[in-house]
Amino acid sequence: MPMAQTYNSSGPTLKQKFPEVLDYVRFFYFKKMTFKVGDMILEQSLGSLADPSYFNIFNYPLLKGEKKSTLIEPYTILLSESFAKKIFGEQNPMQKTITAYRDGVEALLPVTGVIKDVPENAHYRNTFLISYEIEKTWIYYGQEIHKLNWNFENYCTYIKLANNTSPALLRQKNT
């Protein structure tokens, strides 16, 4: 997947410094993640951490769950419709727990929402989104990566601009 990488502080900094930036959402992309549900173990690609502001930026239909609370809690997951069916079939996945494994660390994630599959021609597609808040519990190379800094550039950031804001003018203000 082609990526336009940004730093974890890009979105918060743009929103703080420019009143034209109304909101942002950051994604931290996973090439693959291993999940366990009951006796079933599977690997799934195209997943990310996402800020709770996801639905302030994107308007993909939420089929189950509440947009205001879907990605708020640290250990929660939002599934695409096809991934939910892959795991749970026709059962309602809401509030069922999925075990996720990343770098040997286990996380229990209740399902808080199901979103319609993102079109294949979208720049950034996800089959699952895990609350960005979980990142506050992770430490990499002895560093707390959730702290805003200009060292970690493995993020993709989208911003929402105020009506009638010119992206070109915003770029000029930033130089």
Cα(125)–Cα(93) distance, integer angstroms: 21
Q: Residues 98-143: pLDDT tens digits? A: 999 877 778 899 999 999 998 888 877 899 999 988 876 655 544 5
The neighbouring-strand residues paired with 97 are 110
The DSSP result for 87-104, as a single string, is HHTTS--TT-EEEEEETT
The answer to the question of residue 4 being in a domain is: no
The answer to the question of residue 1 being in a domain is: no
Q: Residues 41-89: pLDDT tens digits? A: 999 988 999 999 999 999 889 999 999 888 988 889 999 999 999 999 9
- Tell me, letter by letter, the H, E, C secondary structure of 15-43: HHHCCCEEEEEEEEEEEEEEEEECCEEEE
The answer to the question of residue 33 being in a domain is: yes
Q: How many structural domains does the chain have? A: 1
Q: Are 111 and 96 in contact (CB under 8 A)?
A: yes
Q: In terms of residue numbers, what domain contains 36?
A: 10-174
